[in-house]
Structure 1
């Protein structure tokens, strides 16, 4: 079976976890602090804060940006449901706008029309690793005095051309960027998340709220020469990353350049392998973006049934995933007012599939994926 993806881990990660386990300090501590510094340096961010996963990162990002009860956040339905859920955790309403037809990212041209007096933030998603059009979104957000939160769950290692220079996603170009370290992502700790921000006061708030708003961090209290009684001045959360995870993450950061390079090489091979499948639409990069190819998304020919294609490929030993989900179609969002039509989002979910792409994938495996897709497209029919 060729899986949709496979994390690249080995002895360095196992040894890092072992080292921390034997140290006696396994919760948030010196390894987390070291990982935060290394991640900030990697993406060129002034501040980086590690948390338990990207969903908690998004929740903190929106809360600290000022999103609260009764507010609205402009975002996309075309994303994993955590994007929309993080808005609702704040007591706010996600206002969904449609995506661009080729990038599958938020369409900046639709954002301004969705702004109302209740809008408190814009939440864009760098979907499947391809950067959003930040050159359009950043000035739009600034003009309306709105924070721009980047859901960069899939985008570690991706880049955007900014003022003539290639810069990593996460610098950040908006106000805060949120990353995932889930196994489906480019690097992983099993699970985990990171917030990067340009605002020192926001970073301090993230650090306070991730640890139950404890007035004195555990690392300080346990290392103190005198007894310290901490306080809890407000309601916080248990959103901490462990030192075990952070130690693994530090090893993963060392691998990141090589992983992204290999993924980009694999992505560059697919167009030639899939060229003979008539009606198949392939992904592409705009001149101002470099994707990490977290996922390779293709749009099926009009005559193909998505489920049948995926099943036939699975029967041939090739794992796939459907197009990115649309939150507004889920029961949890049934009945929610949807003022803006989302035809391109729905079409992307219904017509697209994600193909296997991962470090260590062989030319033979890529050829098998292409052959299985070609065979499935030739023998399935949505109109049968």
Structure 2
């Protein structure tokens, strides 16, 4: 992955610096407004990362010690960590083998009377079937929160991922389509939750620093609850506004490159690539491939051969329950998750990837699998 950054972002950041207001301020408010509108939400709350946005979501729901929150193990470890840091227990559920996402069936298998919420990830930008999860969870009064870290620009049932979400969290890390360096966003249609989240991210202050300075009159703030420092800076937000204007073009280009990968790799027996699900479209934040069942080479050996040929690939999506941080953490059987994380790898995909570079990747992969020269 390589972020798409240019002179417009540099000038926007410089303008924020020249303004003298570099902390959370008017540019953050503008970014919140335009981002929420783009994903079909009423309110946006900028944060320092997607992880902190998820943590805010959990606090809004009152998640805490004694509670369980269903999460996929097949996700970056931050998904489980955001639950862990509330004192609640992350409960790992298995995923669909085609999309890598939670489904109503995999979640139903681990629900208990202690389940406080379900945290569904739109993994690698592939939209999860949120309607199916809500059909399961709503009658049980179990909220469904969306980890949309990778999903800006993806669609679900003809609308942007995140539209109509109870709470959705987003990432602007450089490996995502939109980047502010580091940073995140929480979106919701509930004004009361948005207002509280904005307080929680800024130490629980009754009035933000930006509003206090803007008012012109002496204001003595109060601290209404113990909270956090999860703010985004105006420098980051200035970059984010420019990045958002590029989103449609970035998605279009990535989908073109993904389609070409799919075409070039179609002749490799047993190799499966990430694709759009029936219920939506993916932004191809990551282009993962699953190695054939009868492959005579291990995934890590494929990665090593790609590296030897000058191709920077990486392992597929991690399984959090297999990491040392969650060693000994109880969980149900997760056969699809373990197969997925063991047999998948992520190929290079970014806006400036050339056809020649893509050909090199395909040649290296097919050679590593023993398939000979590329099948073009």
Pick the TM interval, shorter chain. Answer: over 0.9
What corresponds to 2:323 in structure 1? 330
**Which one of the candidate residues 131, 150, 153 is aligned to 1:157?**
153
What corresponds to 2:243 in structure 1? 252
Q: In the TM superposition, what is the alpha-carbon distance from 1:144 to its structure 2 partner?
A: 0.9
Name the CA distance, whole Å, in 2 between partners of 1:41 and 1:379: 47
**Which one of the candidate residues 229, 234, 237 is aligned to 1:243?**
234
- Determine if contact 1:172/1:196 at 8 Å carries over to the other structure: no
Name the CA distance, whole Å, in 2 between partners of 1:34 and 1:327: 35
Name the CA distance, whole Å, in 2 between partners of 1:84 and 1:323: 18
Residues 282-301 of structure 1: CA deviation (Å, up to 9, x unaligned): 22222221000000110112
3-state DSSP of counterpart to 1:272: helix
Name the CA distance, whole Å, in 1 between partners of 2:119 and 2:345: 24
- Determine if contact 1:56/1:239 at 8 Å carries over to the other structure: yes
Residues 344-383 of structure 1: CA deviation (Å, up to 9, x unaligned): 1011111000011110211111111100101111189xxx
1:231 is aligned to 2:232:
no
Select between 71-80 and 101-110 the one with higher mean Cα deviation: 101-110
- Structure 2: where are the runs of 5+ without partners? none
What corresponds to 1:363 in structure 2? 355
3-state DSSP of counterpart to 2:272: coil
Select between 272-281 and 206-215 the one with higher mean Cα deviation: 272-281
Name the CA distance, whole Å, in 2 between partners of 1:206 and 1:267: 37
3-state DSSP of counterpart to 1:278: coil
Q: Kindly report structure 1 stretches of 4+ aligned residues shifted beyond 4 Å.
A: none
**Which one of the candidate residues 192, 208, 211 is aligned to 1:217?**
208
Name the CA distance, whole Å, in 2 between partners of 1:63 and 1:139: 24
**Which one of the candidate residues 310, 321, 333 is aligned to 2:314?**
321
1:139-150 correspondence to structure 2 within 5 Å:
139-150=135-146
What corresponds to 1:27 in structure 2? 23
3-state DSSP of counterpart to 2:370: helix
- Determine if contact 1:299/1:351 at 8 Å carries over to the other structure: yes
**Which one of the candidate residues 124, 127, 136 is aligned to 1:128?**
124
1:52 is aligned to 2:52:
no
What corresponds to 2:82 in structure 1? 86
**Which one of the candidate residues 192, 196, 209 is aligned to 2:187?**
196
3-state DSSP of counterpart to 1:257: helix
What corresponds to 1:95 in structure 2? 91
Name the CA distance, whole Å, in 2 between partners of 1:299 and 1:225: 59
**Which one of the candidate residues 352, 377, 380 is aligned to 2:344?**
352
Name the CA distance, whole Å, in 2 between partners of 1:130 and 1:110: 17
Name the CA distance, whole Å, in 2 between partners of 1:197 and 1:128: 21
- Determine if contact 1:215/1:233 at 8 Å carries over to the other structure: yes
| CA RMSD across the alignment | 1.2
- Determine if contact 1:97/1:107 at 8 Å carries over to the other structure: no
TM-score (norm 2): 0.96
Residues 8-47 of structure 1: CA deviation (Å, up to 9, x unaligned): 0000000000000010000000000001110111111111
TM-score (norm 1): 0.94
- Determine if contact 1:171/1:196 at 8 Å carries over to the other structure: no
3-state DSSP of counterpart to 1:226: coil
- Structure 1: where are the runs of 5+ without partners? none
| Alignment length (residue pairs) | 370
Q: In the TM superposition, what is the alpha-carbon distance from 1:303 to its structure 2 partner?
A: 2.1
Name the CA distance, whole Å, in 2 between partners of 1:379 and 1:272: 16
Q: In the TM superposition, what is the alpha-carbon distance from 1:154 to its structure 2 partner?
A: 0.3
- Determine if contact 2:275/2:282 at 8 Å carries over to the other structure: no
Residues 150-200 of structure 1: CA deviation (Å, up to 9, x unaligned): 000000000011xxxx10012133x11100000000110101101111211
**Which one of the candidate residues 181, 201, 210 is aligned to 2:172?**
181
Name the CA distance, whole Å, in 1 between partners of 2:164 and 2:289: 29
Residues 197-244 of structure 1: CA deviation (Å, up to 9, x unaligned): 121111111101000001111012122332222121211100000000
Name the CA distance, whole Å, in 2 between partners of 1:220 and 1:133: 39
